[in-house]
Amino acid sequence: MSGSIPRATVRRLPAYLQFLEESISIHTTVASDDIALATGTSAAQVRKDLSQLGSFGTRGVGYDVVALHNLISRALGLESERPVAIIGAGNLGTALANYRGFGERGFRIVAVYDADPRRIGKRIDTLVVRPVDALKKDARRNGLEIGMIATPADAAQSVTDMLVDAGIEAILNFAPVVVKVPANVTVHQVDLATELRILSYHLAQRAR
């Protein structure tokens, strides 16, 4: 069924899910047009995307909010909570560890690691920063599934290697370097300065 969903669709599904979560207490039904409006896309796009997950709207009526929510959750593999570790307990790592949005959306930060002895033992929310060497042992015990890299650029590759060695197959990398991983591991990069540079292009276009 959901053998495989096109990349572009997968990128939009979380936004649809977000909107459905906000709608769930308000409506029992939503139209493709409602979803489109809330997520900044088109109704045709929404219907096309949803049809990839199988048909189940009702013509003349729309989509059942709860049913659609469940369907997208399942498609994204969000039925059970996924344990996440943060590597790097600097400003960014600390901010990530404190961020409530992860928990609300089914991800649990189970540990924060750092290599710097001065940071080890530091409390962040309910967690205590652990030495990065403990990662591999911990990973098995915690059933760790996702690693978030919040280290400086020059540490990112070696941290990545540790994560891979610990059996993690999904990595979110905030360091501004492309890290190498084996084919079975997925890395997404969030580069804050890159986003600003793209915005800069738009400012420059406007000025001409």
Q: Which residues bind DNA (CB under 7 A)?
A: 6-9, 30-33, 41-45, 47-48, 50-51, 55-63
Integer Cα distance of 80 and 69 in angstroms: 14
The minimum distance between CB 103 and a copy of itself, in angstroms, equals 10
Residue 27 per-residue DSSP state: -
The minimum distance between CB 30 and DNA, in angstroms, equals 7
Chain center to CA of 36: 21
Integer Cα distance of 187 and 160 in angstroms: 10
Of 55 and 184, which has the nearer Cβ to DNA? 55
The minimum distance between CB 28 and DNA, in angstroms, equals 13
128 interacts with, out of a copy of itself, DNA, none, CB within 5 to 8 A per kind: none
Integer Cα distance of 149 and 191 in angstroms: 11
DSSP letter string, 130-162: EEGGGHHHHHHHHT--EEEE-S-HHHHHHHHHH
77 interacts with, out of a copy of itself, DNA, none, CB within 5 to 8 A per kind: a copy of itself
25 interacts with, out of DNA, a copy of itself, none, CB within 5 to 8 A per kind: none
The minimum distance between CB 59 and a copy of itself, in angstroms, equals 27
Integer Cα distance of 148 and 101 in angstroms: 15
201 interacts with, out of DNA, a copy of itself, none, CB within 5 to 8 A per kind: a copy of itself
Amino acid at 120: I
71 interacts with, out of DNA, a copy of itself, none, CB within 5 to 8 A per kind: none
Q: Which residues bind a copy of itself (CB under 8 A)?
A: 4-5, 10-11, 13-15, 17-18, 38-40, 75-78, 82, 84, 91-92, 94-96, 98-99, 101-102, 104-107, 145-146, 169-172, 176, 178, 184, 186, 188, 190-207
Integer Cα distance of 154 and 169 in angstroms: 21
Of 33 and 138, which has the nearer Cβ to DNA? 33
Compute the C-alpha angle 144/148/152, nearest 5°. 140
